């Protein structure tokens, strides 16, 4: 699969044959600039405008994109998706719900965890529901998402092989968030050299130490 970072908690994931495109947590213009996107499947972790602006997407074919913003098991275009509902405190009035959705996305034998709007550590039942996570898309900037300390706690709970940080202070993003450096200081991790996308296969996943990849905005 190919993973692209688009800012905030937004990622684009494509299957290796590029026949299926997923868009995770698209955001509107109040929090940054996201170009018009195409997608077959949209996942939204929250009803906030920086996590659930599905209107950014135009149709790939004659059918509208399949939108997932609720818990449950889904199998769409050969991609398995497990959505888990999490109840948490709302830190501001930009969300209508105290529930957010966490996702485990199974593609080509690799499980990607997307926890875009999470702001607390996970409970045992939530960890069991998510299951194995190989690649974790991890919010680290605080505010209404995980703080650097909490992001390290959640990373330890999920035990991924590869971490891609998101939702931190960037010049392209209008939200007031903590820095990526604060996460590195808290976690003791260092970023691997990277570009605007990464290709991930099951055989290439780190076997021993967990690695951190920082993606440029595509």
Q: What is the pLDDT of residues 195-207, one digit of tens each?
A: 889 999 999 999 8
The pLDDT assigned to 8 comes to 86
pTM of the predicted model as reported, rounded to 2 decimal places: 0.91
The pLDDT assigned to 196 comes to 85
Give the DSSP per-residue string, the chain.
-EEEEEETTEEEEE-TTS--EEEES---TTSB----EE-SEEE-S-SSTTT--GGGEEPSSSSPPEEE-SSEEEEETTEEEEEEEEE----SSS-S-SEEEEEEEEETTEEEEE-TT--SPPPHHHHHHH---SEEEEE-S-TTS--HHHHHHHHHHH--SEEEEES---TTB-S----HHHHHHHH---EEP--SEEE--GGGS-SSS-EEEPPPB-
Q: For 70-91, what is the mean pLDDT?
A: 90
Contact 137, 169 (CB under 8 A): no
Q: For 75-88, what is the mean pLDDT?
A: 93
Mode of pairing for the β-strands spanning 37-38 and 10-14: unpaired
Q: For 51-63, what is the mean pLDDT?
A: 64
**What CATH number has the domain bearing residue 15?**
3.60.15.10
Residue 218 lies in a domain: no
Residue 65 lies in a domain: yes
The pLDDT assigned to 169 comes to 76
What domain range is 76 assigned to? 2-213
9-40 pLDDT, tens digit per residue, is: 999 999 999 899 999 998 876 555 566 778 89
Contact 110, 205 (CB under 8 A): yes
96-145 pLDDT, tens digit per residue, is: 567 899 999 999 999 999 998 899 999 999 999 999 999 999 999 988 88
Confidence category of residue 190, pLDDT binned at 50, 70, 90: confident
Domain total in the chain? 1
Contact 214, 164 (CB under 8 A): yes
157-184 pLDDT, tens digit per residue, is: 999 999 999 989 777 766 778 889 999 9
Residue 18 lies in a domain: yes
């Amino acid at each position: 699969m190919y993973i692209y970072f688009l800012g905030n908690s937004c990622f684009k994931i494509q299957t290796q044959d590029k026949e299926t495109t997923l868009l995770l947590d698209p955001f509107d213009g109040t929090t940054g600039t996201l170009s018009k996107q195409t997608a077959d499947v949209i996942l939204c972790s929250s009803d906030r405008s920086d996590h659930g602006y599905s209107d950014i997407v135009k149709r790939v074919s004659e059918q509208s994109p399949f939108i997932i913003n609720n818990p449950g098991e889904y199998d769409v275009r050969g991609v398995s998706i497990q959505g888990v509902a999490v109840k948490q405190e709302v830190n501001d009035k930009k969300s209508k719900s105290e529930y957010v959705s966490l996702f485990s996305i199974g593609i080509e034998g690799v499980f990607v965890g997307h926890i875009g709007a999470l702001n607390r550590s996970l409970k045992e039942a939530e960890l069991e529901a998510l299951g194995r996570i190989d690649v974790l898309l991890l919010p680290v900037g605080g505010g209404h998402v995980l703080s650097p300390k909490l992001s390290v706690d959640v990373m330890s709970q999920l035990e991924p092989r590869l971490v891609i940080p998101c939702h931190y202070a960037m010049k392209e993003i209008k939200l007031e968030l903590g820095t990526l450096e604060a996460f590195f200081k808290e976690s003791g991790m260092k970023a691997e050299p990277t570009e605007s996308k990464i290709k991930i296969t099951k055989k290439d996943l780190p076997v021993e130490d967990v690695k951190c990849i920082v993606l440029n905005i595509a």
